[in-house]
Amino acid sequence: MIELKNISKIYKTGQAEFKALDNVSLEIKAGEFVAIMGPSGSGKSTMLNILGFLDKPDSGSYLLLNKEISNLEDDELSILRNHIAGFVFQQFHLLPRMTALGNAELPLIYAGKRDMKHAAKEKIRDVGLAHRESHSPNEMSGGEQQRVAIARSMVNEPLIIFADEPTGNLDTRSEEEILAILDGLNENGKTIIMVTHEDEIAKHAKRIIRMRDGRIVSDEKKISRKKIKTTEINVKPINEALSKTHSTFGKAEFMDFILQATGSIFAHKMRSLLSMLGILIGVAAVISMMALGEGAKESVSETLSSLGSNILAVMPGSRRQHGVAMEAGSVTRIEMQDANAISQLKEVKGVSPTVAGRAQIVFMNNNWNTVIRGVGTQYETMRNSEPILGRFFNDNQLRARDKVALIGTTVVKELFGDIYPIGKEIKINKINFIIIGVLPQRGASFFRDQDDVIIVPVTTAMYRLLGKTYLDSIDVEVKDPALIDSAISSIKKLIIKRHRLTPDKESSFEVRDTTEIRDMMTSTTRTFSILLGSVAAISLLVGGIGIMNIMLVSVKERTKEIGLRKAIGARRADIRLQFLIESALMTLSGGLAGIVLGAGISTLLSVIAGWSASVSLFSILLSSGFSVLVGVCFGFYPAVQASRLNPIEALRYE
């Protein structure tokens, strides 16, 4: 079964070299029970580690069932350890947070046989611990723990059992129980290779190999035994083992890794909580900061809605005469006929001529000075000014110059208080007007109260209130944003043609595009949101560094566990994935808690400080996704460090 040819192994300590094995040659046949003995430093443990695929020789040949394995990669050796070998250690090496049954099942996970859970139950029963399968290791005696280790070593039906001082930490009774189990396994055809320093233990073996200074000094076969020809055991099991390509993302395995990662998190509650805290604070900051940014955008949107969409403003300009700037409208005056002509352009959807001024308003014993704005009937839809109470004036009232008015909420508060305003009569510059509507609330914008206004028909404002014969401006709504440039060009040509403007006077009026204001404000709020989110994301990065630090500490603390997992068949990818899942679970848990906390902070700011805050689905998905990404990124280095540990060094780590 096993043939070693001139195997050597040298360990270096600084500049000094120690030859643990010196040109050792050995053959072990199937079904043998071999005891390797020798004093401390004789090389017996090194021999067992090389025989059990835990270590590689520096030189020589290792044939397993006539197949050379001394040049195999680490992952290939891991597969051999999982399918060909079973290990029983002096220190038991059971995972404390798992039950006896859970420990026995571990090799099945890395073999891709998680569906064969019944096999672990059978092995636990075979070693006489069926009644203790749900107990944790700290609830068992040393003998019971070693029996669990034997059940774990047998769960994958290996060809060889490797036992390293299996009774070294046991009392006499437990020692006899363990040896009886090993004898029974050997009688059933299992090959057993055991390291011991006690003659009484070695007597149970059928062959005793003694070592000193890295060499075999004696090889004694106690009794004859029917030989099992090498040809009866072919290389098929090895080929099958090495051809295993089970994916670490198989359904059962992946769920097992999640369960083990969860178990590890709960086994170290305080450490895990502190790790999550950094992510929790970071995500809460991202959520609350983005909520404030989103609230600011909504406030700007409300402000922009008062400007309407795709709006142009045609205004009279001025020009210089003999170096002196003339007042607006001194050259080109905008007339009602201009508004009518503009409304006929193909790019135009609606037109509202506008005049404005200030006036004193009186209702009963209350008076107020406010802005009077005369507009057209299309102003209602163009400026999103549908009344919250009452109605807007119509074309007939516009033509008749009716004395009707719509008032803003500030005017309602100052003049009417709790009195219902619709139908009431007020005096504007001593002229009686009937209130027919209340405008929607706009709030403050550019240091001006947009609700401190009264709207009347533009004809009424011009000829009854303000005494104007020309318009202050014309609001023009364009059918589509793509037509804005074309509309501006058409309006300019129309005004130039109607007013017969010479080239030197073409600058005496202007067409303003309010979309520029909208774009500027939107860009500002977007920048504000990005800035807030970026500042908050820094705390996430700090939390990620904390995660990396904790995971590196975890790797140190769990070095023996990593060594055990590799000894029973875990590949590098398996170890990496387990630590990555653990890191991602911690950051995801912290992220979800941070989302709740961030939403709470945002609500609190809205209620107490009156700030506008809105938690969006995008911010929730972004922060939770980013928290998992932080866990994966910052957990990757510790995971790689864990996967690169040498199983022998890890098992011996103190």
Residue 438 lies in a domain: yes
Rounded Cα gap, residues 72 and 255, in angstroms: 30
Do both 466 and 600 map to the same domain? Answer: no
**Number of other CB atoms surrounding residue 366 within 10 Å:** 13
- pLDDT at position 585: 84
Do both 372 and 468 map to the same domain? Answer: yes
- Supply the mean pLDDT for the chain: 82
- Which of 58-72, 170-184, 324-338, 576-590 is predicted least confidently? 324-338
Q: Taking each helix axis as running N to C, give the angle between helix 100-111 and helix 117-126, from 0 to 180 degrees, rounded to the nearest 10.
A: 130
Do both 533 and 430 map to the same domain? Answer: no
Residue 207 lies in a domain: yes
**Which residue, 471, 500, 529, sits at the end of a domain?**
500
Residue 135 lies in a domain: no
- Which of 397-401, 531-535, 610-614 is predicted least confidently? 610-614
The token pair at 274 is 């502190």
Do both 453 and 569 map to the same domain? Answer: no
Q: Kindly indicate the confidence band of residue 319, based on its pLDDT and cuts at 50, 70 and 90.
A: very low
pLDDT at 483 over 50: yes
Compute and round to an integer the Cα radius of gyration of the chain: 43
Do both 449 and 576 map to the same domain? Answer: no
For position 164, which CATH number holds?
3.40.50.300
Q: 348 and 478 in contact (C-beta within 8 Å)?
A: yes
- pLDDT at position 635: 81
Q: 107 and 98 in contact (C-beta within 8 Å)?
A: no
pLDDT at 623 over 90: no
Q: Kindly indicate the confidence band of residue 329, based on its pLDDT and cuts at 50, 70 and 90.
A: very low
Residue 125 lies in a domain: no
| Percent of all residues in the chain with a pLDDT value above 90, rounded to a whole number | 26
- pLDDT at position 610: 60
Residue 647 lies in a domain: yes
- pLDDT at position 440: 92
Q: Taking each helix axis as running N to C, give the angle between helix 559-567 and helix 74-83, from 0 to 180 degrees, rounded to the nearest 10.
A: 70
Who wins on pLDDT, 75 or 115?
A: 75
- pLDDT at position 279: 77
Do both 391 and 289 map to the same domain? Answer: no
Residue 258 lies in a domain: no
Do both 366 and 226 map to the same domain? Answer: no
- pLDDT at position 518: 64
Q: 411 and 368 in contact (C-beta within 8 Å)?
A: yes
Helix (H, G, I), strand (E, B) or coil at 292: helix
Q: Kindly indicate the confidence band of residue 581, based on its pLDDT and cuts at 50, 70 and 90.
A: confident
Is the entire prediction scored with pTM above 0.75?
no
Token pair 């004696």 in the structure block, residue: 218
- pLDDT at position 237: 53
Rounded Cα gap, residues 19 and 42, in angstroms: 10
Q: Kindly indicate the confidence band of residue 447, based on its pLDDT and cuts at 50, 70 and 90.
A: low
Which range of residues forms the domain containing residue 487?
A: 333-500
Do both 547 and 596 map to the same domain? Answer: yes
Residue 505 lies in a domain: no
Do both 622 and 583 map to the same domain? Answer: yes
Do both 446 and 537 map to the same domain? Answer: no
What's the average model confidence in pLDDT over 70-88? 86
Helix (H, G, I), strand (E, B) or coil at 443: coil
What's the average model confidence in pLDDT over 208-215? 91
Digit-coded pLDDT (tens) for 238-275: 665 556 555 544 444 677 778 777 877 777 777 778 77
Q: Kindly indicate the confidence band of residue 69, based on its pLDDT and cuts at 50, 70 and 90.
A: confident
pLDDT at 374 over 60: yes
- Which of 128-137, 151-160, 547-556 is predicted least confidently? 547-556
Rounded Cα gap, residues 650 and 654, in angstroms: 9
Number of structural domains (the chain) is 3
Choose the most confident range, by mean pLDDT, from 55-59, 321-325, 523-527.
55-59
Residue 562 lies in a domain: yes
Digit-coded pLDDT (tens) for 92-149: 888 888 889 988 888 888 877 766 778 888 889 888 888 888 998 889 988 889 899 9
- pLDDT at position 398: 94
Do both 491 and 529 map to the same domain? Answer: no
pLDDT at 51 over 50: yes
Do both 218 and 289 map to the same domain? Answer: no
Q: Kindly indicate the confidence band of residue 427, based on its pLDDT and cuts at 50, 70 and 90.
A: very high
